[in-house]
Amino acid sequence: PVPTSRLRELPKVELHVHIEGTLEPELVLELARDAGIALPYRDADTLRGRYVFADLQSFLDIYYENLGVLRRRHDFARLAYQYASRAHAGGVVHAEVFFDPQAHRSRGVAVADVVAGLVEGFDRAFGEFGFTTELIACFLRDRPVAEALETLDELTACRAAIVGVGLDSAEVGHPASLFTEVFARAADLGLRRVAHAGEEGGPDSVRAAIDHLGVERVDHGIRSVDDPDLVAELVARQMPLTVCPLSNVRLQAVADLAVHPLPDLIAAGVLVTINSDDPAYFGGYADDNFAVVADAFALDDPALAALADNSVTASFLPDARKAELR
């Protein structure tokens, strides 16, 4: 195995992490205790013991349930700072972080408070250890399109400091094409666009995100391997995929790491990046994801450096900062 110290030293950019998915069981319990919320389990390990997932939906059920403890601006600041600290310790120097505004506004938490809290936590991380971030607001594809449009209006009204928009939650049965207008409006506002696709859905779902939403990166995208023409197109366009190996294993999107399509995608010339998705649930942060793929596919140092370099290329960082990171 590659020494984890070397993996940590490799400057990495994280492009696929949901801030709500960094909510560790310990923090769920602490926030619940502070807010006087009663929980059906007494300790963090009991909660962690429930993290056995059959598919994406079984994970999403627990993910949405747990984020009920995030209520005040300060809670989001703590969450953001804690993630930044852990990511930084693993060699992540910049992160483009997803959040789910609809999952909070539906509980009566103002979008402006969510964003202000995240910005507060990330500003502290930048001040203390130079960790940089951008925020990407994701729309929930299993909620009505009208709600996504309202949410985009709220983000605009509060001048939310976001670099772009994304699309997440249950993929199958909720086609990207439904969100064409939402993404067109986001583009008009000057926002960058990404979307989850090809996690549980097939190659057509990836094509829909590219063709209807105009995305600049595809989140997951692993099922693209089932369509060689699509893979060729991804290569020709140098369309980045934000792959999350531990997530794919834990959500049973792949049977086992050994049969993960990552090596095939790399061999085909796809611009692949390695990311953590929901690290508090799937057993590891960005460095852990690098470590497991290095081990499973016997990736040498140049191969790992190439993956880290891809994360710089695929980021929304200005060219000057990209050059600094190489």
Mark the binding-site residues, compressed into ranges. 16, 18, 196, 277-278
The one-letter amino acid code at 130 reads G
Q: Give the footprint of ligand HPA on residues 151-190 (CB under 6 A).
A: 168-169
d(CA 58, CA 51): 9
Nearer to ligand HPA, 277 or 287 (CB): 277
Please choose which of ligand HPA, Zn ion, none residue 270 contacts, taking the beta carbon within 5 to 8 angstroms, the exact cut-off set by kind.
Answer: none
Least gap, CB of 278 to ligand HPA (angstroms): 5
Angstrom distances, CA of residue 101 to CA of 133, 200, 248:
17, 23, 24
56 touching ligand HPA, by CB under 6 A: yes
- Annotated active-site residue 199? The verdict is yes
Least gap, CB of 247 to ligand HPA (angstroms): 5
241 touching ligand HPA, by CB under 6 A: no
Least gap, CB of 28 to ligand HPA (angstroms): 16
Binds ligand HPA by CB under 6 A, chosen from 21, 164, 221, 245: 21
Nearer to ligand HPA, 22 or 133 (CB): 22
Total residues contacting ligand HPA by CB under 6 A comes to: 11
Residues that bind Zn ion (CB under 5 A): 277
Least gap, CB of 194 to Zn ion (angstroms): 10
d(CA 169, CA 251): 13
Least gap, CB of 199 to ligand HPA (angstroms): 6
**Catalytic pick among 150, 199, 200, 324:** 199
Can you count the helices (H) and strands (E) in the chain? 17, 8
Nearer to ligand HPA, 111 or 304 (CB): 111
22 touching ligand HPA, by CB under 6 A: no
Nearer to ligand HPA, 151 or 169 (CB): 169
Please choose which of ligand HPA, Zn ion, none residue 199 contacts, taking the beta carbon within 5 to 8 angstroms, the exact cut-off set by kind.
Answer: ligand HPA
Q: Which residues pair with 12 in a beta bridge?
A: 92
Residues within the annotated binding site for substrate? 278
196 touching ligand HPA, by CB under 6 A: yes
State how beta strands 12-18 and 92-99 pair. Answer: parallel
E-strand ranges in the chain read 12-18, 92-99, 132-140, 164-168, 192-197, 217-220, 241-243, 272-274
Nearer to ligand HPA, 62 or 296 (CB): 62
Helix, strand, or coil here: 98? strand
DSSP 255: S
Residue 150 has which token pair? Answer: 């309202």
Q: Give the footprint of ligand HPA on residues 268-297 (CB under 6 A).
A: 277-278
* Residues forming the active site: 199
Using CB under 6 A, list all residues that contact ligand HPA.
18, 21, 56, 63, 168-169, 196, 199, 247, 277-278
